[in-house]
Amino acid sequence: MSAESTELPRRRRRGNATFWLGLILVGGIVLAGIVSFFWTPYALSDMAGGRLEAPSAAHWAGTDRLGRDLFTQLMIGARIALIVGCGAVAIGAVIGVATGILAAFATRFLDDALAAFFDILIAFPTLLIAMLVVAAREEASLGTAILALGIGLSPIVGRITRILTKQVLGQDYITAARVSGTSWGAIVYWHILPNIVPFLGVNLALQFGLAVMAEASLSYLGLGAPPPNASWGRMLQEAQGTVYTAPWGAVLPGLALFALVIGINLLADGLRDRFDPARRDG
Amino acid sequence: MLRYILRRLVILLLSLFIAAVVLFVLLRLLPGDPANALVGVGATPEQIAAAQAQLGSDQPLGVQFLSYLGDLARFDLGNSFVSRSSVLDEISRRLSVTLPLTLAAFVLALVIAIPLGILAAVKADRWYGLLLSVVSQVGIAVPVFWLGILLVYEFSLNLRLLPSGGFPLRGYADPGRAIESMVLPVLTIAIVMSASLMRYVRAATLEVLGSDFLRTARALGESHTGALMRHGLRNAAVPVVSVLGIELSTTFLGAVVVEQVFSLPGMGSMLLLGIQQRDYPNIQGVLIVSTLLVLLTGFLADILQRVLDPRLRKEAR
């Protein structure tokens, strides 16, 4: 008993620390992305700087091989990473939650079929499918990348939603609600969604990290958003050839990507500690 | 056990069938007739019609689907539009780069992750135990191609120890250079992969350390290390093995990207080249073989898990 009382506060404090560190990392990148809509140090296509300049007061992150400002590109890259992450997670959540709840409510046969279908789709290499979907269009665009990644995430969300919904449906208060004449639609809205959202939210945060990483991979492979957009993945691809003379160009975009993904993961961990009643009360 | 394997085999075949259907639909959804890609720009309508007849894309969809399934069942993946050579031959050539890369990286990741993961759990209260778990947390957020670029910068450009990319033209007939060109790609994948594996190993070991059976073994007079070796590791292995299949598939897909960093002529570059050249048979071939490998890995991991954990065998019925 005494061991527990010394153990719990420490863990709680550490949970808070990771939450705040995550919030700072993600917050900084979100801020950079929002500010990039109104202001960037230079125009994206401004080739005024010297080629491959080192970071300086004029160019905070240096310049690329065409003399464009890298800090500007990093800010636009933050915007693109966030749009892709949010877009893909939104698509994945809508499809995943709808099919997951449907599976949980369905008769045995349909439920089994959907569950097996989720498992099969999860085994499917998402990145390869995204590459194919992107390739299917005449020209790669941000929209196709988001759509492809969102579809790729949906079975993962679907499987979790199905399991969570089944847990809620097994509770006595659902039976009570049904007996008192509440419709299934109202049960989904008033009982299922509020109960699964905290846990699902943490999982969606992790999916956000996956989507951002996958988009960077696509862009690195030349299948992401086309040139005027500066995705971190494409910045890395361009900087790779000049990494010896201008290492910062290859280091900074990767660092930004790393900070966003680790920040999201820390945030998710912190949120889980806050929302999970089992953890909260010890 | 036999019943489980049979059931799992049925699911595997069913998954393959669904994968084939999904690929068929996706590839037919591509804008334009593949015949146009075959004959190229500026072809006369007669040439296009001839190409359509050759590819069978003038047939009704149902007929196309059946002949597609028939080809798959005979492992006939057709010929490349561009080089006209057999897709299957090309894939086996490419796999001779991708498979060794994947397997070597995977084995190295296990060699790194298992001892370090156990150490991180057993010594969780020491500073190095804590450091190890922080490193593994941080490691999963490292973009694999970024790490590749950084390793090239340090080991090829700065220290000039290893080639920055490419693969000898004569392949494994030139073993020294072939191995040299594999070192950095293998390291790149193994480092990232070992971070996520370490987390599983650590979590599984922590679980076992807190278990009743380990306490009983200690009470019966076994030493801490002895009890962990004799009873702990086998139990800790079960959850780890369950993710190995997924991890191996992830390694394989990571290889597709890493091959691009080091310009290795593997499956990844075949797929990218196929996409750029609209070489449909090559695209389809790579995706089918990749999916087959991923599904097979999952199948084998499930069976292995049953072998390791007798409790699962009982529950199955």
Strand partners, B86: B79
Q: Residue A20 falls within a domain, yes or no?
A: no
Whether B150 and A251 lie within 8 Å, measured CB to CB: yes
**pLDDT band at residue A31, thresholds of 50, 70 and 90?**
very high
| Nearest CB neighbour to A135, from listed B18, B275, B290 | B275
Q: Which residue did the predictor score with more confidence, A143 or A13?
A: A143
Whether A236 and B152 lie within 8 Å, measured CB to CB: no
Distance from C-alpha of A74 to C-alpha of A57, rounded to nearest angstrom: 16
Q: Domain of residue A127: give its range.
A: 98-282
Q: Residue A104 falls within a domain, yes or no?
A: yes
Q: How many domains does chain A have?
A: 1
Q: Residue A199 falls within a domain, yes or no?
A: yes
Distance from C-alpha of A267 to C-alpha of B1, rounded to nearest angstrom: 43
Whether B294 and A124 lie within 8 Å, measured CB to CB: yes
pLDDT value for A278: 55
| Nearest CB neighbour to A128, from listed B14, B260, B290 | B290
pLDDT value for A2: 40
Has residue A37 got a pLDDT over 70?
yes
| Nearest CB neighbour to A217, from listed B22, B145, B287 | B145
Has residue A95 got a pLDDT over 90?
yes
pLDDT value for A3: 42
| Nearest CB neighbour to A136, from listed B14, B31, B150 | B31
CATH 1.10.3720.10 fits B96-316, yes or no: yes
Q: Where are the domains of chain B?
A: 13-73, 96-316
List chain B pLDDT tens, one digit each, 317 residues: 788 888 888 888 888 888 888 778 877 766 556 666 666 666 777 777 777 777 766 677 778 788 888 888 887 888 887 788 888 889 998 998 899 999 999 999 999 999 998 888 888 788 888 888 888 888 888 888 899 999 988 888 877 777 777 777 667 777 777 888 888 999 999 998 898 888 888 888 888 887 778 788 878 877 777 777 777 777 777 778 777 877 887 788 778 888 888 888 888 888 888 877 778 888 888 888 888 888 888 888 878 877 877 776 654 44
pLDDT value for A4: 42
The structure tokens 């449909």 sit at B280
Q: Tell me the pTM.
A: 0.83
Question: Residues of B with CB below 8 A from A133's CB?
Answer: 26
CA-atom Rg of chain B in angstroms: 24
Q: Residue A81 falls within a domain, yes or no?
A: no
Assigned token pair, A174: 């659902």
| Nearest CB neighbour to B143, from listed A116, A119, A257 | A257
Q: What is the mean pLDDT of residues A80-101?
A: 92
**A30 in B contact zone (CB under 8 Å):** no
**B79 in A contact zone (CB under 8 Å):** no
Q: What is the mean pLDDT of residues A259-264?
A: 92
Distance from C-alpha of A134 to C-alpha of B236, rounded to nearest angstrom: 41
Rounded (5°) CA angle B71-B72-B73:
90
A190: domain CATH number is: 1.10.3720.10
pLDDT value for B6: 87
Whether A217 and B257 lie within 8 Å, measured CB to CB: yes
Whether A124 and B291 lie within 8 Å, measured CB to CB: yes
Has residue A22 got a pLDDT over 50?
yes
Q: Among A61, A31, A39, A78, which residue's Cα sits nearest to residue A230? A: A78
pLDDT value for A6: 45
Q: Which of residues 222-251 of B touch A (CB under 8 A)?
A: 249
**CA of A116, closest CA in chain B: separation in Å?**
9
Question: Residues of A with CB below 8 A from B261's CB?
Answer: 240
**What is the Cβ-side half-sphere exposure of residue B197, based on CA atoms within 13 angstroms?**
27
Whether A136 and B30 lie within 8 Å, measured CB to CB: yes
**pLDDT band at residue A58, thresholds of 50, 70 and 90?**
confident
pLDDT value for A1: 39
Q: What is the mean pLDDT of chain A?
A: 80
pLDDT value for A280: 46
CB neighbourhood size of B135 (10 A): 14
Non-local CB neighbours of B96 within 8 Å, separated by 6+ positions: B171, B172
Q: What kind and span of H or E run contains A222? A: none
Q: Residue A280 falls within a domain, yes or no?
A: yes
pLDDT value for B107: 93
Residue of A nearest to B148 (CA): A240
Q: What is the mean pLDDT of residues A104-132?
A: 76
**pLDDT band at residue A63, thresholds of 50, 70 and 90?**
confident
- Most B CBs within 10 Å, among A131, A208, A235, to test the B interface: A131
pLDDT in tens, A211-228: 998 889 888 888 877 776
Q: What is the mean pLDDT of residues A239-268?
A: 87
Residue of B nearest to A241 (CA): B149
Question: Residues of A with CB below 8 A from B137's CB?
Answer: 262, 265
Question: How large is the angle between the packed helices A247-275 and B144-151, nearest 10 degrees?
Answer: 140
| Nearest CB neighbour to A132, from listed B26, B137, B261 | B26
ipTM: 0.81
Whether B138 and A124 lie within 8 Å, measured CB to CB: no
Q: Which amino acid is at A88?
A: A
First vs last C-alpha separation in chain B: 10
Distance from C-alpha of A188 to C-alpha of A257, rounded to nearest angstrom: 37
Distance from C-alpha of A120 to C-alpha of A26, rounded to nearest angstrom: 33
**CA of A57, closest CA in chain B: separation in Å?**
25
Q: Residue A250 falls within a domain, yes or no?
A: yes
